[in-house]
Amino acid sequence: MYSEVVMDHFKNPRNVGEMKDADGVGEVGNPVCGDMMNIYIKVKDDRIEDIKFLTFGCGAAIAVSSMLTEMAKGKTIEDARKITNKSVAEALEGLPKNKLHCSNLGADALQLAIKDYEDKKAGKVKAPPKVEDKHEHTKGDACRCPYCDTDLGEAMEFCSNCGKDLGKEIFK
């Protein structure tokens, strides 16, 4: 199913871990659709001096995170901006088609980490962490691909915000 490069990065993931004193943090994904990625960067002289990741997800998601950190490490911010989800997938010698949807979010997380770093540098106050607010549970579609807007299957009876099951009697 996976290429040898993917399996190598899955089995021997590079740059795993949390960074307490990160200059920028990027978080993407949610467990409803399957994957979550956190990217932490340390920047010195406009260069990504160190990078770490934490990922909840399938083999592809872990390999994507690992590959992304290798690609970004040592790059200038300007060059790191050019890393895309597509280029990460290419460096992994391809991902199975269905994994291109949910798991290939690494570059998005990196771009958010860079933005977080720049916001901090510009003196912008980071928005407080999202509070688990009481929201209306609304029935949503199953996961939609963020890139090609493909609907990944029939609508499910769960809340599109938090994943809570609403389908007590699914046929009614």
Separation of alpha carbons 170 and 172, rounded Å? 6
Start-to-end Cα distance in the chain: 38
* SS3 state of residue 20: coil
- DSSP type of residue 158: B
Q: Is 28 helix (H, G, I), strand (E, B) or coil?
A: strand
Which run of H or of E encompasses 119? helix 106-121
Asked whether position 142 contacts other proteins by CB under 8 A, the answer is yes
The smaller minimum CB distance to other proteins, of residues 77 and 145, is found at 145
Nearer residue to other proteins within complex by CB, 17 or 74: 17
Residue 31 binding other proteins, by CB under 8 A: yes
CA 131 and chain centroid, separation? 20
Residue from 3, 56, 75, 91 touching other proteins (CB under 8 A): that is 56
The HSE-up count of residue 23 (CA atoms within 13 Å, CB side) is 18
Contacts of other proteins in 75-114 (CB under 8 A): 98-99, 101-103
Q: Which of 33, 145, 159, 162 is catalytic?
A: 33
What are the tokens at 76?
A: 């200038």
Note whether 149 binds other proteins by CB under 8 A.
no
For residue 152 the two structure tokens come to 């990944």
* Residues composing the chain: 172
Active-site residue flag, 143: no
**Minimum distance, C-beta of residue 151 to other proteins, in the bound complex (Å):** 11
Segment interacting with other proteins (CB under 8 A) among 70-78, 113-121, 130-138, 158-166: 158-166
Using CB under 8 A as the binding rule, whether residue 5 contacts other proteins is answered as: no
CB of 122 to other proteins, least distance (A): 26
Contact call for residue 10 and other proteins (CB under 8 A): yes
**What is the arrangement of strands in the sheet containing 24-29, beginning at the earlier edge strand?**
24-29, 36-44, 47-56
Does 162 qualify as catalytic in the annotation? Answer: no
Binding site for other proteins (CB under 8 A): 7, 10-11, 13, 16-18, 27, 31-38, 53-62, 98-99, 101-103, 142-143, 152-153, 156, 158, 163, 165, 167-172
